[in-house]
Structure 1
């Protein structure tokens, strides 16, 4: 019985000491990984000679709705850029405050048909001006998918 216990202890000690990783093995693996790592390539930006293409204003769809201003200091003009639509006024007001902080004269309007609150970030007298500003607005927020779906509202 004692002999079995001694053999068991000796086997355990040998097996545990054999599993120990050496620092040299880690160092070799690290050096190999660093050597295989590609060098950083610095690319110089290429100047684009193409002028930005102007959007064809006749193909831009415009939604026509009867709306009234509920938040904001100003009335909206005939064509507005809608960047958000909400069923809760609090959500629309939060987006309006964000846009005001970014320098826009945003207002919240309510759609009288469906009681939907819409955030208008800018408004203009002509469709051409509104389309041009919508393009600039989308370019300012390229990572915001909600703003990429901004549309033009024609106020009845």
Structure 2
């Protein structure tokens, strides 16, 4: 388990994660972000997360906010709160902790997707590869995402 507590350590994690991406890879802008429909404790936690979102993430200004979504910049760093559990997330999946929030990481051709682990609902953050280091977004979102209640510790 990797625990990080500052932007510089988080940046080191992100640099390692994105080093496998080809230099100059871009991500196309997302015109529509699918709005999740959380219920119960996930919806309650998402409302708390949304109320605490920062105006800037990874140096990018907020460009859109929905009921349970937000985006920053172009190409957009996107956050969706109340998404379904990722199909690849298992009890043995790696959990990287950034400023007290556990994340499951998925690599795609032009972006990284991070989904919270151990919270009452799942928060998903997608960071296009052009916004490196990707962990800057996680550091900036950690105070808001910390409003989602913890149900299990990052292991």
TM-score (norm 2): 0.25
Q: Which has the higher contact order (CA 8 A, sep 6+)?
A: 2
Higher-strand-fraction structure? 2
**Structure with greater Cα Rg:** 1
